[in-house]
Amino acid sequence: MASTAMLNSPCNIGAVKFEIKLKRLPNLLCARPSVKLNRRRMSTIRAIKEGHDNESGSTPLKKMGLTDEECEAAVVAGNVPEAPPVPPKPAAPDGTPIVSSLPINRRPRRNRRSSAVRAAFQETNISPVNLVYPLFIHEGEDDTPIGAMPGCYRLGWRHGLVQEVAKARDVGVNSIVLFPKVPDALKTSTGDEAYNDNGLVPRTIRLLKDKYPDLVIYTDVALDPYSSDGHDGIVREDGVIMNDETVHQLCKQAVSQARAGADVVSPSDMMDGRVGAIRAALDAEGFQHVSIMSYTAKYASSFYGPFREALDSNPRFGDKKTYQMNPANYREALVELQADESEGADILLVKPGLPYLDIIRLLRDKSPLPIAAYQVSGEYSMIKAGGVLKMIDEERVMMESLMCLRRAGADIILTYFALQAARCLCGEKGYKLAGS
């Protein structure tokens, strides 16, 4: 007596129903089924294609209870389920010349032929954990727009800042760096407000740590926001920036920030010997756990303009070329690298970012320490301006620029795009890499 069973093909390209008639011997199922011919080829298997594939939303295929042996026996008997035919070779446009294939074995385009293949072989990735969000703060309650940096504000330290940090944390950005707009009345030639334990930055750190204990807070160690001269150090009457006296002030500033709860202090002043002095000062006060991110290669760049507007910290006279690096110099970065490593820096930073990819790569190749890149205000504002003018796709250029910084060797990136980029990465904007 024959038994009848229905089989659905396990392939993903269409529901195919099969009817198999197998002859049973007493207490034994034959290894090769008897063939009862029907239809044109009198086949044991009748294949009927139904519906669409599962991915297009059709009803899921049901298993019919056949064993692997029964399925294999049908195939061995020559009753192979139907499948789509081999697709035809796509036609070239009219007029395409007929040529012989080039005699080359290596065709790199094979590894770029589809989005899935490109994703599998992508060498560099970026996620919100790679981003540090620079935030400007002031004593006021309202958030004040920064004209030269669309989308950025001087945030009220008790209200707007807390809300902005919450937004960043919601999309995976849990590291920030604080930059204060200090009242002019508190600025002096020696920048004493920089180490006031009840100043704007220490108060803000304590507030944020109380609300978000696991938030990673970087701080800026430099005198320019607190200096009546607008320089990163104390200015002598002849215009010379005093190095060792400035370092003395910076050590007190770093200790004050650590006492408030800072996780990473970041000397951006470019004074000689400041990393070692700050490390010693922190250790002496019991802050061995506080890290130092040194601005190792900070260039005297023209890309800082919008930042100085944000903090109202332009130099009152002269420039910063006697302490910041010459943009024309490459090897000099190695001198700064060796000094910072030997003095105890935990992280090495390059500033600006995109115009200095070669320096990022240099530090990456020469040091085992983590490398940071600062995508500065001028870089940010140019991308924003190009987007507003519809000259570029703002989001794609933003993400490409960040990916390039990562590719050059940056482990973390300080960027005003942190919140916007993290939202893209989390899918709020449906962002995809340009090559996908």
Q: For 308, what's the count of Cα atoms within 13 Å in the CB-facing half-sphere?
A: 16
Q: What token pair was written down for 422? A: 């993290």
- Pick the catalytic residue from 181, 320, 351, 384: 351
* Residue 135 · residue 164 · CB < 8 Å: yes
Nearest residue to 110 via CA among 125, 121, 124, 94: 121
Instruction: For residue 392, give the 3-state DSSP assignment.
Output: coil
- Which position has the token pair 């004074």? 271
Give the H or E element holding residue 413. strand 412-415
| Side chain identity at residue 268, one-letter code | S
Q: Is-catalytic flag, 252?
A: no
Determine if the peptide bond prior to 88 is cis (ω within 30°): no
Give 134's DSSP letter. Answer: E
- For the stretch 393-422, what's the b/e string if a residue is b when 16 or more beta carbons lie within 10 angstroms of its beta carbon? ebbebbbbbbbbbbebbbebbbbbbbbbbb
Instruction: For residue 290, give the 3-state DSSP assignment.
Output: coil
Q: What is the CA 145 to chain-centroid distance, rounded? A: 25
CA distance 259 to 277: 17
* Residue 168 · residue 174 · CB < 8 Å: yes
Nearest residue to 35 via CA among 68, 74, 82: 74
CA distance 419 to 153: 13
* Residue 113 · residue 157 · CB < 8 Å: no
- What phi-psi label fits residue 430: left (phi over 0), alpha (psi between -120 and 50 degrees) or beta? left
CA distance 229 to 241: 11
Instruction: For residue 227, give the 3-state DSSP assignment.
Output: strand
CA distance 268 to 271: 8
- Pick the catalytic residue from 298, 320, 384, 432: 298
Q: In angstroms, what CA-CA distances link 293 with 13, 267, 344, 347, 391? A: 55, 7, 10, 4, 36
Q: Is-catalytic flag, 351?
A: yes
* Residue 273 · residue 343 · CB < 8 Å: yes
Q: In angstroms, what CA-CA distances link 121 with 113, 118, 374, 412? A: 11, 5, 27, 22
Active site residues: 298, 351
